[in-house]
Amino acid sequence: MNGLEQHKPLTEHDHAGCIEDAMATAELLCRDSGLRFTALRRHVLALVWESHKPIGAYDILAGLRGEGRRAAPPTVYRALEFLIEAGLVHRLDSLNAFIGCPDPARMHTGQFLICRDCRTVTELADSDIEELVAEKARQRGFTAVRQILEIEGLCKRCSLCS
Ligand SMILES: [Zn+2]
Ligand SMILES: [Zn+2]
Ligand SMILES: [Zn+2]
């Protein structure tokens, strides 16, 4: 079964193009940074990119098994860790799920607009917000090392439907 058919994006766009771009960017980024982009890591990234909705580790495992690949949970977790480290994937703590980064080449943390209805996630990656938060933290003598903003709400499409 083709996984892409099950997870059609809600917004009208050529999502095959998104996946292609994401895979090509990852390929380049890994090559330039001397990182090993193994078949498993590639598969996991492709599964994360199946849609603009976050995917949990168990769904990734199920996806790999659906493709007839044997993968133990620790192996998948390690592949995810690698992808997060490389900036290719972000982890959304509030959902305990993962989302592909559309702009991994640029160092950033990220702000995520999460639709509570359709679960579509839009990444802002706005450096102004990032700097503002870091500055506010600095003023309080706090050094920010990791900041991920998860903003819950309704996407344009879902707010039009409700
Ligand atoms: Zn897309
Ligand atoms: Zn990102
Ligand atoms: Zn929505």
| Residue where the block lists tokens 């996630």 | 121
Q: Helix (H, G, I), strand (E, B), or coil: what is residue 121?
A: strand
Rounded distance from Cα 38 to ligand 3 centre (Å)? 33
The DSSP code for 18 is H
Read off the pLDDT of each residue in 17-32 and give the average, rounded to a whole number: 96
Domains and CATH numbers, the chain: 3-100 (1.10.10.10), 111-161 (3.30.1490.190)
Give pLDDT tens digits for 70-105.
788 999 999 999 999 999 999 999 999 999 999 998
The ligand placed nearest to the CA atom of residue 102 is 2
* pLDDT confidence bin for 11, thresholds 50/70/90: low
Give residues whose Cβ lies within 5 Å of ion ligand 2: 101, 110, 125
For the entire predicted model, the pTM comes to 0.85
The ligand placed nearest to the CA atom of residue 148 is 2
Contacts of 78 (CB under 8 A, 6+ apart): none
Rounded distance from Cα 19 to ligand 2 centre (Å)? 15
Give pLDDT tens digits for 62-79.
999 988 887 889 999 999
Rounded Cα distance between 98 and 45, Å, is 10
Rounded Cα distance between 140 and 111, Å, is 22
